[in-house]
Amino acid sequence: MVSQSLPHKKTASLPANSLAAVVGNTPLLELKRITAHLPSEVQIFAKAEWFNPGGSVKARPAWGIIQTALKAAALAGGKHLLDSTSGNMGIAYASLGASLGIPVSLAIPSNASPERLTILRAMGVELTLSDPLEGSDGAILVAQHMATERPEKYFYADQYNNQENWRAHYRTTGPEIWRQTAGELTHFVAGLGTTGTVTGTGRYLLEQNPDIEIIAFEPDSPFHGLEGLKHISSSIQPGIFDPTLADRTLGISTETAHHLTRRLAREEGLFVGVSSGAALEAAMQVAGQLTAGVVVTVFPDAGYKYLSEKFWELES
Ligand code: PMP
């Protein structure tokens, strides 16, 4: 039998074999075949974030937010952790929450993919569905309303404004990339959702080397199929967003992201989500202008939550 050092301890401490202990420290994969056309001195690497508990990058901010809330006793008395989410953050809260005995309530657009809704229901989350036409902003407004109406029931985690979101990337994603590239990266490319990834990782990397270029990307229009990403200029601005960090912001189309997501599966053996295809397109645009450089991006999740989408079966 596997020995459990502290079987009854229900605190935020980190026994080595707990779910929270395996958040982060994800592999950094070099993309070799899909980049064959680039000069040999130009490399593209991706952080394989689906290795996290709950299967996405969002385990990092979810654990940061939960840990801080536990320390402040903000979840005491059986309070529910409440937030709005398009899916991945909710699944991360649900995984870590279940493992720590914390109930989770989420506001989520009713047109979130059936895979996401099924996973969240399977994990025992209390779901409040918001207007599909209002997207992730509609879910934010519903969560705000619920938090105001029932402050005794909910701790509102508010991932768009919670400083622990970007700090989790500052503490973990940034240092991991710095270490895994032995400080040789020249460009960091990441998508904008809550903006936590770009803000936290970008801040850390620039402190190590101010010459690193930070490139953000977003959907190229307000109506898009890039789950987890936001068209920032037409959305509620996340409070943690720092518009001065990125040197440039690229606009990526849903069709291009689908195309590259298929290519990642077929040419690199990486069955990843649509925002990873978008990340690769952005990284390729950056790498295409270089004669030498180390470009690092983030692949936020795997493809399984997108199985009901139609784009997988296209030829190219
Ligand atoms: N891609 C996916 C699939 C996501 O779920 C998220 C998180 N919303 C992002 C990208 C963007 O990450 P961030 O919230 O840190 O900006």
Q: How confident is the model at residue 12 (pLDDT cuts 50, 70, 90)?
A: low
Q: Are the CB atoms for 78 and 10 separated by under 8 Å?
A: no
DSSP sequence for 38-51: S-TTEEEEEEEGGG
Q: How many CB atoms lie within 10 A of CB 118?
A: 11
What confidence score (pLDDT) does residue 1 get?
A: 45
Do 45 and 95 reside in the same domain of the chain?
no
pLDDT beyond 80 at 305: yes
Alpha-carbon span 105 to 157, nearest angstrom: 10
Alpha-carbon span 90 to 104, nearest angstrom: 8
User: Residue 194: CB within 6 Å of ligand 1?
Assistant: yes
Strand, helix or coil at 104?
strand
Number of domains in the chain: 2
What confidence score (pLDDT) does residue 11 get?
A: 52
Instruction: Identify the domain boundary among 121, 156, 191.
Output: 156
pLDDT in tens, 148-175: 999 999 999 999 999 999 999 999 999 9
Mutation probe of ligand 1 site: the residue of 58, 93, 261 with most atoms within 8 A of C-beta: 58
Q: Is 10 inside a domain boundary?
A: no
* Cα 232 to averaged position of ligand 1 atoms, centre (Å): 13
Do 290 and 251 reside in the same domain of the chain?
yes
Do 121 and 206 reside in the same domain of the chain?
no
- Which of 16-20, 249-253, 294-298 shows the lowest mean pLDDT across its residues? 16-20
* Cα 192 to averaged position of ligand 1 atoms, centre (Å): 7
User: Residue 275: CB within 6 Å of ligand 1?
Assistant: yes
CATH code at position 257: 3.40.50.1100
What are the residue numbers of the active site? 58, 275
DSSP sequence for 200-231: HHHHHHHHH-TT-EEEEEEESSSS---TT---
Mutation probe of ligand 1 site: the residue of 275, 276, 281 with most atoms within 8 A of C-beta: 275
* Cα 5 to averaged position of ligand 1 atoms, centre (Å): 35
Single-letter amino acid code for the residue at 210: P
Q: What letter does residue 170 receive in the DSSP assignment?
A: I
pLDDT in tens, 227-264: 999 999 898 899 999 999 999 999 999 999 999 999 99
Positive or negative: CA dihedral 271, 58, 177, 213: positive
pLDDT beyond 50 at 2: no
Average pLDDT over residues 299-311: 95
Do 185 and 48 reside in the same domain of the chain?
yes
Alpha-carbon span 212 to 214, nearest angstrom: 6
Average pLDDT over residues 204-216: 98
User: Residue 238: CB within 6 Å of ligand 1?
Assistant: no
Burial class (CB in 10 A: 0-12, 13-18, 19+), 259: middle
Q: Is 308 inside a domain boundary?
A: yes
pLDDT beyond 90 at 9: no
The two structure tokens encoding residue 74: 């903000």
Alpha-carbon span 11 to 70, nearest angstrom: 8
Q: How confident is the model at residue 105 (pLDDT cuts 50, 70, 90)?
A: very high
pLDDT beyond 70 at 4: no
Do 208 and 109 reside in the same domain of the chain?
no
Do 41 and 190 reside in the same domain of the chain?
yes
User: Residue 229: CB within 6 Å of ligand 1?
Assistant: yes
Cα 229 from chain centroid? 9
CB contact set of 148 (below 8 Å; sequence gap of 6+): none
Residue whose token pair is 């075949």: 33
Do 119 and 209 reside in the same domain of the chain?
no
Instruction: Identify the domain boundary among 122, 156, 190.
Output: 156
User: Residue 196: CB within 6 Å of ligand 1?
Assistant: yes
Q: How confident is the model at residue 113 (pLDDT cuts 50, 70, 90)?
A: confident
User: Residue 173: CB within 6 Å of ligand 1?
Assistant: no
Do 114 and 68 reside in the same domain of the chain?
yes
Instruction: Identify the domain boundary among 156, 176, 200.
Output: 156
Q: Is 5 inside a domain boundary?
A: no
Whole-structure pTM value: 0.94
Alpha-carbon span 193 to 196, nearest angstrom: 8
Mutation probe of ligand 1 site: the residue of 49, 50, 57, 195 with most atoms within 8 A of C-beta: 57
Q: How confident is the model at residue 59 (pLDDT cuts 50, 70, 90)?
A: very high
Residue whose token pair is 């130009």: 42
Residue whose token pair is 């649509």: 274
Do 139 and 275 reside in the same domain of the chain?
no
Tell me which residue of 29, 58, 50 sits closest to 228, measured CA to CA: 58
Largest CA distance in the chain: 59
Average pLDDT over residues 87-96: 96
Alpha-carbon span 157 to 138, nearest angstrom: 16
The parent domain of residue 122 ranges over 59-156
Do 42 and 81 reside in the same domain of the chain?
no
pLDDT in tens, 61-85: 999 999 999 999 999 999 999 999 9
Do 246 and 206 reside in the same domain of the chain?
yes
- φ, ψ of residue 117 in degrees (nearest 5): -65, -40
User: Residue 162: CB within 6 Å of ligand 1?
Assistant: no
Q: Is 93 inside a domain boundary?
A: yes
